[in-house]
Each structure stands twice: as C-alpha cells, then as structure tokens.
C-alpha cells in the first residue's frame, strides 16, 4: 500500500468520520446540541476540504496511484453516508432523500466495477453532473449539521436550515439525473452482455 500526502489526507478523511458521528453521542451536560452542531459542521467541512486537496496534490505532485483512486471514492461515500444517517436521526433530513443519494452511490459504484470488469470503465467516468451533485452535497451537509443562522458581515443572515435542505433536495434530483445518464452510457454494454 503506497503512502504519500494525498493518500494520508484520504485516510484522515476516513478517520474524521467517527468523530462527526461520535460528537452526537456525548451527553448534553458535556456538550450542548448547539456546540455538537458547530463541531460536526467544522469537522465535516475540514474533511470535505481534504477531499478536494488530496486530488489536487496527487495531480500536482504526480502521486496518483491505483490504490488512491480506489480509496478516495470509498472515503467520500463513507463520509456522506454517515452524515446523512446522522441528519435523518436528528430529523433534519427525510429518510427517502438519504435513501436516494446512498442508493445511487451503491448502484453507480457497482456499475463502474462491472464496466471496469468488461473493459469499458471510461464510458462511466465522472462527469460534470456528478461533480455538481457532489458540490451541492458538500455545501448542504455542513449547513444541515450546523442548523442555525449564519451572520455574514454582521448584517446578513443565511438560514442554513432552508438553504441546506434546498441544496440537498437539488443534490437528490441531480443524483437521479446522473444515475440515468450513467445508465444510458452503460446500456449498450449491458444490452450486449445480457443478450448472449
């Protein structure tokens, strides 16, 4: 297993997941819900930044690897799934929305693995729609973890509950659209392999 700075950052992202979950299991006498929300949102934001930074460094330092390409999406999916489950448990997200997002991740991961097995992985490479969906998720989730107004420059407040929910519903819609797009790209291979 190679170990370099990009892979270290990916492992750091995985290590941060139990911290985001665990903070909500602290007794309220030790940490109030408001403080739990702030800490969880900060940890998630840090983890999301490592997601961008590890890919940037891997390309910049020419430290891309097969293991890194495998571990990075696993870390992302673990992080998003864990936080979506927390949001459902806190009644800040409908379970159906979480199921759509997590279900799509499982389905597309399986599709990519199968396409790689048949030698056509380039047909389902990440595209703009999938990247935009990820950006919406990575902004929405810390907002829903924070779950309180954020004052900007002391005069403008952002309602993170409303904006976070809107962005996550948009992410769910983009999730469905991107899944259909990937299925359309993969369909010729699926049809050819299943018709034999």
Could you read off the pLDDT of 13-26 as tens digits, one per residue? 999 999 999 999 99
- Give yes or no for residue 29 having a pLDDT over 80: yes
- Angstrom distances, CA of residue 185 to CA of 78, 120, 122, 124, 173: 26, 10, 10, 7, 19
Q: Calculate the CA 96 to chain-centre distance.
A: 17
Bigger pLDDT: 167 vs 189? 167
Q: Tell me, what CATH number does 53's domain have?
A: 1.20.120.1760
Domain that holds residue 127: 5-194
pLDDT level of residue 117 (50, 70, 90 thresholds)? confident
**Residues 162-186: tens digit of each pLDDT:** 999 999 999 999 999 988 988 888 8
For 1, counting Cβ atoms within 10 Å of its Cβ (0-12 exposed, 13-18 middle, 19+ buried), the class is exposed
- Give yes or no for residue 196 having a pLDDT over 60: no
pLDDT, mean of residues 24-52: 95
The conformation of residue 91, written as its DSSP 8-state character, comes to T
Residue count of the chain, please give it. Answer: 196
Q: What mean pLDDT value characterizes the chain?
A: 89
**pLDDT-above-70 percentage for the chain:** 94
The phi, psi pair for 147, rounded to 5°, reads 55, 40
Helix, strand, or coil (residue 158) = strand
H/E element, 151: strand 150-152
Q: What is the pLDDT of residue 195?
A: 61
Number of structural domains the chain divides into: 1
């Amino acid at each position: 297993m190679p170990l370099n700075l990009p892979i270290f950052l990916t492992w750091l992202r995985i290590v941060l997941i139990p911290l985001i979950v665990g903070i909500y299991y602290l007794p309220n006498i030790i940490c109030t819900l408001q403080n739990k929300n702030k800490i969880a949102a900060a940890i998630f934001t840090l983890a999301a930044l490592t997601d961008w930074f590890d890919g940037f460094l891997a390309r910049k330092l020419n430290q891309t690897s097969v293991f890194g390409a495998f571990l990075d999406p696993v870390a992302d999916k673990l992080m998003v799934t864990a936080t979506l489950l927390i949001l459902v448990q806190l009644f800040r997200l409908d379970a159906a929305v979480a199921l759509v997002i997590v279900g799509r991740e499982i389905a597309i991961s399986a599709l990519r693995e199968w396409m790689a097995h048949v030698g056509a992985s380039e047909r389902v490479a990440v595209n703009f729609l999938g990247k935009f969906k990820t950006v919406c998720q990575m902004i929405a989730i810390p907002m829903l973890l924070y779950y309180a107004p954020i004052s900007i420059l002391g005069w403008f407040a952002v309602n993170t509950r409303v904006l976070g929910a809107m962005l996550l519903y948009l992410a769910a819609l983009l999730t469905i659209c991107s899944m259909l797009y990937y299925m359309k790209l993969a369909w010729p291979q699926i049809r050819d392999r299943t018709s034999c």
